Amino acid sequence: MSVGGGGGGRGFRGVDEAAQRRLNAEAPQIKDLGKRIVALFRPYLGKIVVTGLIVVLGAAIAVVPPLIVQRASTTRCSRSMAGPTWVCSSASWWP
């Protein structure tokens, strides 16, 4: 069994690529398809933008805990000889 499309002229999932290209060439051309798709989603532009912002904000929030762990792992705390206080110092490579 070969991986990567080496199945004797057959491509992805056993589909004959040449036959599929012929079928695609015979398909009707839709004029201004891109403009029609944009017009379809235009009423939902606000919702799409809000959803995109929520996704970006969620990704940014997901980055915060690993940064806190990294900061905590690069901070060394030790007990001061002067009393019951702790002295913490960061590694030199961390800002």
The identity of residue 13, as a single letter, is: R
Nearest Cα neighbor of 42 from 54, 34, 53, 30 is 34
16 φ, ψ (degrees, to nearest 5): -70, 115
Residues 87, 80: contact at Cβ < 8 Å? Answer: yes
pLDDT in tens, 55-78: 999 999 999 988 888 877 776 666
pLDDT in tens, 32-49: 999 999 999 999 999 999
Burial (CB < 10 A; 0-12, 13-18, 19+), residue 41, is exposed
Which residue(s) pair with 27 in the sheet?
none
Prediction pTM value:
0.49
